[in-house]
Chain A
Amino acid sequence: MLTGAFALVFFYAPLDADQGFIQKIFYVHVPMALVALVGFMAGGVLAALHLRTRETKWDMRSYVTIHVSVILAVGVLVTGSIWARASWGHWWIWDEPMLVSFLIVFLLYATYWPLRFSIEDKDRQSRYASVFAIVAGAFVPLNFTAVRMAESFTHPETGTMTTSGPASVTLTFLASLLGMTLLFVTLCKYEMASKNATFRLRALRRRLAGDDDELALPGRSAAPQL
């Protein structure tokens, strides 16, 4: 599954190698940004489910979704910076609304981990993290729109580049988007499975050591415990 996702992303990109290096970055940068944006909003929705059902698994899913989205966000900032350098000669430009809004979103979500870590009680940690995820998830589209409005005079719409270009551009873009989505889902599943396994291992170890206190949970951490 993972290899399939990677193959999709990278195989289609060289299809348009004749358009130059800059275009290839575009096929990674924009889908990554779109998937990350949706990921952040999904993190908010999953957090809302956690608050409604009070089941830890939703907090885990919200946590993982946000985690992977932040990783993608870093990717967006890096690829966007490279693109800016190649296109306009600077490592950072304020004209690109995607880049700017992602900087703000990244700064916001970077607080997710200190927030979680600073609350010791597990229930409260999950609850507060969920509140944050919902607020931040609603914030992401609003922020993007506001920043886009602010810079709308200076930067050409990404949308026009895909819809008005030759069919191969659109196709490659859509394929890349699909690949990026698959990558996102795969990373999420991978992280969730890894956390599940860690928790089961820990529980088994505790039982083996004769610790009958089922309520006890290990140490302090920023990650939700199942």
Chain B
Amino acid sequence: MRTTVAALLSKELTLEWRTRESVPAMVLFSIATYVVFHFGLDRDRITGDLAAGVLWVTLLFAAILGVNRLFVAEHEQGGFDAFLLAPVDRTALLVAKAAALFVFLCLVELVAVPAFALLLLGPPLAQALPQLVLVLVLADAGIAVVGTLVAGLAIQTRARDLIVPLLALPLLVPVLLAAARCATPLFAGGGARPLPGDWLAVLAIYDLLFALIAYAIFDFLLED
């Protein structure tokens, strides 16, 4: 299983590096959205819950872009067949794709979060950076798992680009909710306040629950 996931993941990352289809688009989208928010909100600097909300809504929509493209190469170039013909555990595809999406999200955040701090955020980013990273990691894990599931569901349908946001956005509301509530004290104007443990727990439970469900049912999406 591990070698299969490693083979799939390295293929994913190599392909993304060659084609640069997803990550740059997600980054550019994030930055463009910050600019839009600046004009829409008519604010130079934002703090607290507004900052948390803007950051997470933007990241969520950028993630949807990535989810849309997740299985496109397989679908168009017969990659599903190649994988289905191999004597491997099929859940490896879920793990590898979710891991790849997680990596893409992290790469996007490496640029988008500092950009956010530069363009919109009032308080300094460094005031709560380790805690923010923790929130990002937990939220990204949830987005990666649910995103992979939704991408898997949508890739075989005829209206893929519509189905993905329609399914993913409601499913990711708890992540958005919890992540925003976690980030709010970190972006507080008068200095960062501690992370709310209960909302971190919500993120963790969400991640665990959907990881287990995805692991159990992903195979059913692949067979024919």
Contacts and interface: CB of A to CB of B under 8 A. Distances in A.
Interface residues of B, number: 33
Contacts of A124: 156, 224
Contacts of B202: 145-146, 149
A107 B146 CA distance: 16
A111 B163 contact: yes
Given A147-B177, A149-B198, A150-B177, A128 B166 contact: no
6 contacts: A104-B173, A135-B171, A146-B173, A146-B202, A147-B177, A150-B177
A143 B175 CA distance: 10
Interface of A: 51, 104-105, 107-108, 110-111, 114-115, 118-120, 124, 127-128, 130-132, 134-136, 138-139, 142-143, 145-147, 149-150
Interface stretch (B65-73, B130-138, B203-211): B203-211
Contact of B177 (A108, A120, A130, A146): A146
B170 A108 contact: yes
Contacts of B153: 115, 128, 131-132
Interface string B134-160: 000000000000100100010011110
Contact of A115 (B149, B167, B214): B167
A208 B49 CA distance: 67
Contacts of A105: 170
A145 B202 CA distance: 9
Interface of B: 146, 149, 153, 156-159, 162-163, 166-167, 169-171, 173-174, 177-178, 181, 198-199, 202, 205-206, 209-210, 213-214, 217, 220-221, 223-224
Contacts of B209: 138, 142
DSSP class of A's interface residues: helix, strand, loop or mixed?
helix
Given A111-B167, A142-B209, A149-B202, A127 B220 contact: yes
B163 A114 contact: yes
B177 A114 contact: no
A142 B167 contact: no
A10 to B, nearest CB: 33
Nearest to B174: A146
B220 A131 contact: yes
B59 to A, nearest CB: 18
A132 B152 CA distance: 11
Contacts of A104: 170, 173
B29 to A, nearest CB: 23
Given A114-B163, A143-B170, 18 more contacts: A51-B220, A105-B170, A108-B170, A110-B166, A115-B163, A118-B163, A119-B158, A124-B224, A128-B221, A131-B217, A135-B217, A139-B174, A143-B174, A145-B202, A146-B173, A146-B177, A146-B206, A150-B181
